[in-house]
Structure 1
Amino acid sequence: MSKVLIVGSGGAGLVSALSATESGAKVIVASKTLPTRSQTSMAQGGMNAVFGSEDSIENHIADTLRSSAGLGEEGRIALMCEKAPEAVRWCNTIGLPFSRDEKGEIARRTLGGASAPRACYAQDYTGLKLLHTLYDQCLKAGIEFRNDRFLLNLIVDQETNRALGATFLHIETGEVEEIRADAVILATGGYGALYGKHSTNSVQATGDGLAAAVRAGARLADMEFIQFHPTALKNSSILISESARGAGGYLVDSEGERFTDELAPRDVVARAIHDEMAKSGAVYLDIRHLGEDFINHELPQERKLAQIYEGIDPVHELIPIKPSAHYSMGGIEVNEKCMTSVSALFAVGECANHKTHGANRLGGNSLLELVVFGRECGKNAAEYGALHPAPVLENMQLAKDTNFVRGVMYFTNQIDFYQKQEMLANIFYNNVGLVRDDMGLKAVLGAIRQMQKELPFMGPRDKSKVCNTNLVEFIEFGNKIELAEIIVVSAISRVESRGAHYRLDAPERNDRMFGAHTITWKEDGVLCADFIQ
Structure 2
Amino acid sequence: MRSDVLIIGAGGAGLVAAINAHESGAKVRVITKEYPTRSQTSMAQGGINAALGNAGEDSVEAHVQNTLKSAHGIANEEAVRLLCESAPDAVEWLDSIGVCFSRTKDAKIAQRTLGGASAPRACYAQDYTGLKILHTLYDRCLSLGIEILNERYLLNFITQAPEKADTYIGGATVLNIRTGEVETYESASVIVATGGYARIYDKHSTNSTGSTGDGIAAAIRAGARLSDMEFVQFHPTALKNSSILISESARGAGGFLLNSKGERFTNELAPRDEVARAINDEIQKGEDVFLDIRHLGEEFIDEELPQERKLAKLYENVDPVYDLIPIKPVAHYTMGGIEVDKNSQTKIKGLYAVGECANHKVHGANRLGGNSLLELIVFGREAGKNAAEYAKTFDKSIDASSQTQSTNNFVMGVKHFTNEIDFYEKRSLIGNIFYNNAGISRDEMGLKEVLEAIRQIQREVPFMGPKDKSKIYNTNLVEFIEFGNMVELSEIILVCAISRNESRGAHFRSDIPKENDMAYKAHTITWKEDSVLCADFME
TM range (shorter): over 0.9
State how 1:86-485 maps to structure 2 within 5 Å. 86-159=89-162, 160-485=166-491
- SS of 2:92's equivalent? helix
User: Is residue 15 of structure 2 the alignment partner of residue 9 of structure 1?
Assistant: no
**CA shift at 1:102, angstroms?**
1.4
Contact 2:160–2:398 (CA under 8 A) maintained in structure 1: no
Contact 1:348–1:377 (CA under 8 A) maintained in structure 2: yes
**Counterpart in the other structure of 2:21:** 20
**CA shift at 1:154, angstroms?**
0.2
**CA shift at 1:395, angstroms?**
4.0
Contact 2:447–2:494 (CA under 8 A) maintained in structure 1: yes
**CA shift at 1:392, angstroms?**
3.2
**Counterpart in the other structure of 1:44:** 45
Among 74, 77, 81, the alignment partner of 1:74 is 77
Aligned equivalents of 2:283, 2:254: Cα separation in 1: 22
Give the TM-score of the pair, scaled to structure 2. 0.98
Identity of aligned residues (%): 66
**CA shift at 1:514, angstroms?**
4.7
**CA shift at 1:227, angstroms?**
0.1
Gaps of 5+ in 2: none
**CA shift at 1:273, angstroms?**
0.2
- SS of 1:197's equivalent? coil
CA-to-partner distance for each residue in 1:162-191, whole Å, 9 max, x for gaps? Answer: 110000000000000010001000000000
Aligned equivalents of 1:137, 1:390: Cα separation in 2: 32
Aligned equivalents of 1:326, 1:102: Cα separation in 2: 33
Aligned equivalents of 1:394, 1:56: Cα separation in 2: 50
**Counterpart in the other structure of 1:62:** 65
Give the TM-score of the pair, scaled to structure 1. 0.99
Contact 1:221–1:333 (CA under 8 A) maintained in structure 2: yes
CA-to-partner distance for each residue in 1:87-121, whole Å, 9 max, x for gaps? Answer: 00000000000000111100000000000000000
| CA RMSD in angstroms, aligned pairs only | 1.0
**CA shift at 1:413, angstroms?**
0.2
Contact 1:2–1:386 (CA under 8 A) maintained in structure 2: no
Contact 2:3–2:186 (CA under 8 A) maintained in structure 1: no
Amino acid across the alignment from 2:52: F
Contact 2:158–2:400 (CA under 8 A) maintained in structure 1: no
Instruction: Say if 1:175 and 1:204 are closer, same or farther in 2 by CA, change over 3 A.
Output: same
Instruction: Say if 1:101 and 1:525 are closer, same or farther in 2 by CA, change over 3 A.
Output: same
Aligned equivalents of 1:452, 1:213: Cα separation in 2: 19
Aligned equivalents of 2:104, 2:520: Cα separation in 1: 41
Aligned equivalents of 1:308, 1:200: Cα separation in 2: 16
**CA shift at 1:256, angstroms?**
1.3
**CA shift at 1:257, angstroms?**
1.4
- SS of 1:401's equivalent? helix
**CA shift at 1:515, angstroms?**
3.1
Contact 1:414–1:458 (CA under 8 A) maintained in structure 2: yes
- SS of 1:467's equivalent? coil
Aligned equivalents of 1:243, 1:345: Cα separation in 2: 36
**CA shift at 1:513, angstroms?**
3.1
- SS of 2:291's equivalent? strand
**CA shift at 1:391, angstroms?**
1.7
Contact 1:164–1:390 (CA under 8 A) maintained in structure 2: no
- SS of 1:396's equivalent? helix
Instruction: Say if 1:117 and 1:352 are closer, same or farther in 2 by CA, change over 3 A.
Output: same
Contact 2:502–2:520 (CA under 8 A) maintained in structure 1: no
Amino acid across the alignment from 1:25: A
CA-to-partner distance for each residue in 1:28-78, whole Å, 9 max, x for gaps? Answer: 000000000000011110000011371110000000000000011000000
Contact 1:71–1:514 (CA under 8 A) maintained in structure 2: no
Aligned equivalents of 2:226, 2:398: Cα separation in 1: 28
